[in-house]
Structure 1
Amino acid sequence: MIKRMVIMLLATGAVFGGLYGFQTFKAGIIQKVMAGMANPPQTVSTADANVSDWQDQVEAVGTLKAVNGADLALQVSGIVEEKSFESGDTVVAGQSLLKLSAEDDIAKLAALKATADNYAISLKRAQDQQKVSAVSQATVDSDSANLKNAQALVAQQQAIIDQKTLRAPFAGRLGIRNVDLGQYLTAGTTIVTLQALDTLYVDLYLPQQALNQIKVGQDVTTTVDAYPGKTFPGKISAINSKVDPVSRNVQIRATMSNPDGLLLPGMFGRVKINIGSSQKLITLPQTAIVYNPYGDSVFIVDHPTANDSKNGVARQMFIKTGATRGDNVAIIDGVKAGEQVVIAGQIKLRNGTPVTIDNSHVPTFENAPEIKDQ
């Protein structure tokens, strides 16, 4: 009886021991599976931290303006009698462009000239007679005054006639013609615009803090949307003598040559001014930076095995950033040259997360990216 009970107790213990061992083994397997599921490798894209020449710049938008530019008009009214230009013509200074009808004025001028000639004859006669004391000095003086008055009236009438002729005040390119033959023009009506295109200004505004970084003669480069990839060099030619009290900005004017006539007044331009000396800094794509209120950071990929460049472990590193340029940003502190930095997929990472690197779809990052037509 006792022997049977012992056997039963041993059998029961074996069963419970087996069950306990099985449960322990099962729990271990589940724990390992859950651990693997909680921290699986994440696919990311990376870029190497490279050292490059970094030139600090001040950037602003500006408006192009001709050194000489005007909307041409006449200061008198009349009917268009002669037109000697077409839209888009290139003209020289003093070239006649348009004339108003001036028959009445020309006839009046002829009458005034005749009167002036008569006074000139009278003065000559009086001067000859005075030599023999035939007339008084008062007569000579009166005839002289009459001649000067007549000559002044002739000059005045000639000026009126000249005002009915439009001439190019400087050399340049004409715009679109706004008048036709036979049209009646009132004084001040714009006939055509004239712009000297060989040299242009670009006017821009900078915050007052930039005043200690810029000076007259400093080099600038300008780009416009009309000519992607092309830069137009120039120099700062003037800095306004006061700061706008409302915006606290100061107006800057740069001058640049335009020998090919590609640029036109009124264009919008992006202006860059190099300041300070060139530095060698580590640069990264801006997508690599994780911005947080408590500090900016990046994820650096460490490779436990030197031969395995496709797999690694993410390590978060707080950094100090500098200026940005296009798609890239300068790194002042926190990243060493040559380190592999995650540029896509950071949202899935934390310290120690295993990663798999896939750079098959990494875009190109440029200092001066441009919109390209697709």
Structure 2
Amino acid sequence: MSKKSVIGLLAVALLAGASYYVVKHGIPGRHAPAHRGAPAQTVAAQTAQMQTWQPAMELVGELRASKGADLALQVSGIVQSLSFESGDTVQAGAPLLRLVADDQAAKLDSLKATAEVNALILKRDTEQLKIKAVSQATVDNDEANLKNAKALVAQQQALVAQYSLTAAFAGRLGIRGVDLGQYLSAGTTIVTLQALDPLFADFFVPQQFFGRLKVGQPTKVKVDSFPGQEFAAAVSAINAKVETGSRNVKVRAVLNNPDGRLVPGMFAKVALEIDAAEKFVTLPQTAIVSNPYGSTVFVLDKGADGKGLVARETFVKLGQARGDFVAVVSGLKEGETVVVAGQIKLRNGTPVVIDNNNIPEAKLDPKVSD
């Protein structure tokens, strides 16, 4: 065996021995056992509690309108009238804008007059046919002329309608992009119309969770504009394919927005509830001491004489965090008293006195004001 191999084996053995020592005796240095007769240290402590948490994935998404469109006309012309202001709430079919269409309206009147004449000719020839004054071919030709005239009228009516803009659905208008008297080219965006209640939240879920998705699944949505607030939503649709680039599946949730505070395009944080609720032993996150060896907490036990409390350091395995709390998967039991402030003064066996007068209350859903 080469010299380098021997050195490598010795290094591995030393690391393994150090890890065993840490697990058995605690972290060396400041956490060495306290000397007998050491003065009591004042700390803050709380009891480890069992809480029921609903497992959830934190995802990012975007808010979309249930109906949304940038309104435009398919013909060109000069704006003759405007019937809305920026930010108006409108109903479906409400008139919004009209272009100058005098020549098209005049042509429509002419076509209507021609149709009326054709109708009179057909009526007269039908009566003449009864007394054999005209042939059947004449009446048939009159009927064709009338149908053609009516078709031309309908065509012109559709063209005239293109010079007017109405709300395609109920919603809120955005900022007006045109003014009275302005010339508009076909396709120019006039204003955006967005239906704000309900809204959609679109987000992506990793494909390994595809089998755990279902319509109606509860979700919670947060936006930066309203910190600390959650908006209830539910999954309404799951895409029929997985995106080939990211291997994520697109999911859509629907949420009510009756007051219109949320608007399409907002960045959203989506908490998707998965599986059944679970129970965890939980602690305030301030109780956790993180170091290269792992995460530890100081548990308070009764002293050897049955009086007072002494600190005992123990390793814990942590789960998910929520608000000011963190779940402890192993290493701690419900009901044990754990130090949440003042750990820096402690070693194994240090006598302690509890004083909780100056510690803030830990919360699952802390607000900015907290």
TM-score bracket for this pair, using the shorter chain length: 0.7 to 0.9
Q: Using the TM superposition, give the Cα deviation of residue 170 of structure 1 relative to its aligned residue in structure 2, in angstroms.
A: 1.2
Residues 87-134 of structure 1 show CA distances to partners (whole Å, capped at 9, x for unaligned) of 222211111111111101011111111222222222223323333333
Could you tell me which residue of structure 2 aligns to residue 336 of structure 1?
Answer: 333
Asked if structure 1 preserves the Cα contact closer than 8 Å seen for 2:217 and 2:234, the reply is yes
2:315 is aligned, of 318, 325, 330, to 318
Identical positions, percent? 58
1:366 aligns with 2:363: yes
Q: Using the TM superposition, give the Cα deviation of residue 283 of structure 1 relative to its aligned residue in structure 2, in angstroms.
A: 0.4
Q: Using the TM superposition, give the Cα deviation of residue 246 of structure 1 relative to its aligned residue in structure 2, in angstroms.
A: 1.4
Q: Which amino acid aligns with 2:233?
A: G
| Other structure's SS at 1:178 match | coil
Q: Which amino acid aligns with 2:168?
A: P
2:339 and 2:346 map into 1 onto residues whose CA distance is 10
Asked if structure 1 preserves the Cα contact closer than 8 Å seen for 2:228 and 2:368, the reply is no
Could you tell me which residue of structure 1 aligns to residue 200 of structure 2?
Answer: 201
Could you tell me which residue of structure 2 aligns to residue 129 of structure 1?
Answer: 128
Could you tell me which residue of structure 1 aligns to residue 283 of structure 2?
Answer: 284
| Other structure's SS at 1:110 match | helix
| Other structure's SS at 2:116 match | helix
Gaps of 5+ in 1: 1-34
Equivalent residue runs for 1:56-205 within 5 Å: 56-205=55-204
2:244 and 2:367 map into 1 onto residues whose CA distance is 35
Number of residues of Structure 1 aligned to a counterpart in Structure 2: 335
Q: Using the TM superposition, give the Cα deviation of residue 161 of structure 1 relative to its aligned residue in structure 2, in angstroms.
A: 0.8
2:317 and 2:40 map into 1 onto residues whose CA distance is 28
Q: Using the TM superposition, give the Cα deviation of residue 197 of structure 1 relative to its aligned residue in structure 2, in angstroms.
A: 2.1
| Other structure's SS at 2:362 match | coil
2:297 and 2:212 map into 1 onto residues whose CA distance is 31
2:248 and 2:286 map into 1 onto residues whose CA distance is 31
Residues 298-343 of structure 1 show CA distances to partners (whole Å, capped at 9, x for unaligned) of 33233426553xxx54433222322222232111221122323344
Structure number with bigger Rg: 1
1:293 and 1:252 map into 2 onto residues whose CA distance is 39
Gaps of 5+ in 2: 1-33
1:51 and 1:223 map into 2 onto residues whose CA distance is 26
| Other structure's SS at 1:67 match | strand
CA RMSD of aligned residues (A): 2.8
Q: Using the TM superposition, give the Cα deviation of residue 139 of structure 1 relative to its aligned residue in structure 2, in angstroms.
A: 2.5
1:227 aligns with 2:226: yes
Q: Using the TM superposition, give the Cα deviation of residue 354 of structure 1 relative to its aligned residue in structure 2, in angstroms.
A: 6.0
1:275 and 1:322 map into 2 onto residues whose CA distance is 16
1:134 and 1:294 map into 2 onto residues whose CA distance is 113
Asked if structure 1 preserves the Cα contact closer than 8 Å seen for 2:220 and 2:230, the reply is yes
Q: Using the TM superposition, give the Cα deviation of residue 65 of structure 1 relative to its aligned residue in structure 2, in angstroms.
A: 1.6
Could you tell me which residue of structure 2 aligns to residue 258 of structure 1?
Answer: 257
| Other structure's SS at 2:64 match | strand
- Pair 120,341 (structure 1): closer, same or farther in 2 beyond 3 Å: same
| Other structure's SS at 2:196 match | coil
| Other structure's SS at 2:300 match | strand
Could you tell me which residue of structure 1 aligns to residue 237 of structure 2?
Answer: 238
Q: Which amino acid aligns with 2:144?
A: A
- Pair 306,176 (structure 1): closer, same or farther in 2 beyond 3 Å: farther
1:240 and 1:346 map into 2 onto residues whose CA distance is 50
- Pair 181,306 (structure 1): closer, same or farther in 2 beyond 3 Å: farther
Asked if structure 1 preserves the Cα contact closer than 8 Å seen for 2:228 and 2:366, the reply is no
| Other structure's SS at 2:129 match | helix
